């Protein structure tokens, strides 16, 4: 039994079942035993696009430069990243951006929004050789306000979700309760919701037994992005795994050492995430008055930005890496790998040209 499991069981025994959102937040960010605080296993438990290939971060860096040019080169401006992991994406993006546009590197400064002290120190180590001085904040609300390009890869999938199940009596919240002498499992709240406003409208008439997921913090995040993007020119590029159109079902998943396992098997020692509903982002952003491009599949987007040419350029310079580069390219772009599972969406200040790649 993990330390966190023992504590969560004691908490549930005393106060009753937890919402899935509360459980996810504890598993990921409990200040003592949360996965990202105590055991961030990025690279060991799972691998993200920037960790697969330098081409990913480089193309995002070039995309940021093009966005900066589209905004008439504001100085100063922030290159903000939400959830930078081990800092690989920002390091590759900054290196590529600086090499094509030295003026960008003079005008822009990186801001890293990171809640994990351990990962913030890994980011510091990764970025130090680039002689760039990033600023760190715990929450986006604390970051410098002004013109910005914001990047977020596999950040939204970690934001806690709530789950609801349709029964003949209505929608009941799915909660995390005790299961046997040393486990945890799903239970249903005894009373149905009084108000269905939380349920995505497309699922109102879903059959009994269907699970609906909602991510309560998404609305606050999009509202906050709108506050910034309506006050200053900017763009937010969000990349994650999930459907382009709302769907039902339980998508909460735990991963450890590259294997999926029950979300209750190793709380605090496995990563927890759930698919991102891109149609909700599009709807919320449009309602705030932002211009939205996408979502489109990551494969198409990277192809439109020129990943094939970048691969060929790198392979000509390093022929011994040609096969490895071809494999990286395939992992990022193939529809059967990350190319279609991952979606890209861009929220922009009104009045800017269409963003590159869409």
Ligand X SMILES: C[S@@+](CC[C@H](N)C(=O)[O-])C[C@H]1O[C@@H](n2cnc3c(N)ncnc32)[C@H](O)[C@@H]1O
Q: Which residues form the interface with ligand X (CB under 6 A)? A: 36, 42, 48, 50-51, 83-85, 88-89, 113-116, 119, 153-155, 158
Cβ nearer to ligand X, comparing 54 with 153: 153
C-beta nearest to ligand X: residue: 83
Least spacing, CB of residue 213 vs ligand X, in Å: 17
CB of 157 to ligand X, least distance (A): 7
Between residues 115 and 352, which has the closer beta carbon with respect to ligand X? 115
Using the minimum distance from each CB to ligand X, give the nearer residue, 220 or 353: 220
- Return the structure tokens found at 126: 């990764």
Query: Phi first, then psi: what are they for 311, rounded to 5°?
Result: -60, -45
Each residue of 290-327: b (16+ CB within 10 Å) or e?
Answer: bbbbbbbbbbbbbbebbbeebbeebbeeeeeeeeebee
Tell me the closest approach of the beta carbon of residue 281 to ligand X, in angstroms: 16
Q: How far is the CB of 71 from ligand X (least distance, A)?
A: 23
Compute the distance between CA of residue 158 and CA of residue 121 in angstroms, rounded to an integer.
20
Closest approach, Cβ 48 to ligand X, in A, equals 3
* Minimum CB distance to ligand X smaller for 70 or for 213: 213
When the beta carbons of 158 and 347 are compared against ligand X, the nearer one is 158
- CA–CA dist 136, 156 (Å, integer): 19
Q: How far is CA 140 from CA 112, 319, 357, in A?
A: 9, 42, 25
């Amino acid at each position: 039994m993990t330390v966190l499991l023992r504590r969560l069981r004691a908490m549930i025994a005393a106060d009753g079942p937890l919402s899935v959102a509360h459980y996810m937040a504890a598993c990921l960010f409990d200040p003592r035993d949360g996965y990202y605080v105590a055991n961030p296993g990025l690279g060991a438990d799972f691998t993200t696009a920037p960790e697969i290939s330098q081409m990913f971060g480089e193309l995002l860096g070039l995309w940021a430069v093009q966005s900066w040019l589209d905004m008439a080169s504001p100085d100063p401006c922030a290159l903000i990243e939400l959830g930078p992991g081990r800092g690989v994406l920002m390091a590759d993006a900054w290196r590529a951006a600086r090499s094509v546009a030295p003026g960008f590197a003079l005008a822009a400064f990186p801001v890293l929004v990171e809640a994990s002290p351990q990962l913030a120190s890994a980011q510091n180590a990764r970025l130090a050789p680039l002689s760039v001085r990033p600023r760190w904040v715990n929450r986006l609300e604390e970051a410098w306000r002004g013109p910005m390009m914001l990047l977020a890869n596999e950040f939204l999938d970690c934001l806690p979700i709530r789950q609801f199940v349709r029964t003949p009596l209505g929608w009941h919240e799915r909660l995390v309760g005790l299961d046997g002498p040393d486990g945890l499992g799903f239970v249903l709240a005894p009373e149905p919701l009084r108000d269905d406003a939380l349920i995505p409208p497309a699922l109102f008439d879903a059959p009994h037994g269907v699970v609906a997921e909602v991510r309560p913090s998404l609305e606050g995040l999009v509202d906050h992005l709108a506050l910034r993007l309506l006050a200053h020119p900017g763009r937010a590029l969000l990349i994650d795994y999930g459907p382009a159109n709302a769907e039902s079902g339980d998508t909460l998943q735990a991963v450890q050492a590259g294997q999926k396992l029950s979300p209750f098997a190793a709380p605090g020692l496995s990563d927890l995430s759930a698919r991102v509903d891109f149609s909700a982002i599009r709807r919320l952003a449009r309602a705030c008055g932002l211009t939205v491009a996408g979502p489109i599949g990551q494969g198409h987007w990277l192809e439109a930005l020129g990943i094939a040419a970048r691969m060929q350029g790198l392979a000509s310079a390093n022929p011994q890496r040609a096969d490895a580069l071809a494999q990286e390219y395939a992992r990022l772009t193939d529809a059967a790998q990350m190319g279609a599972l991952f979606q890209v969406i861009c929220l922009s200040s009104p009045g800017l040209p269409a963003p590159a790649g869409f």
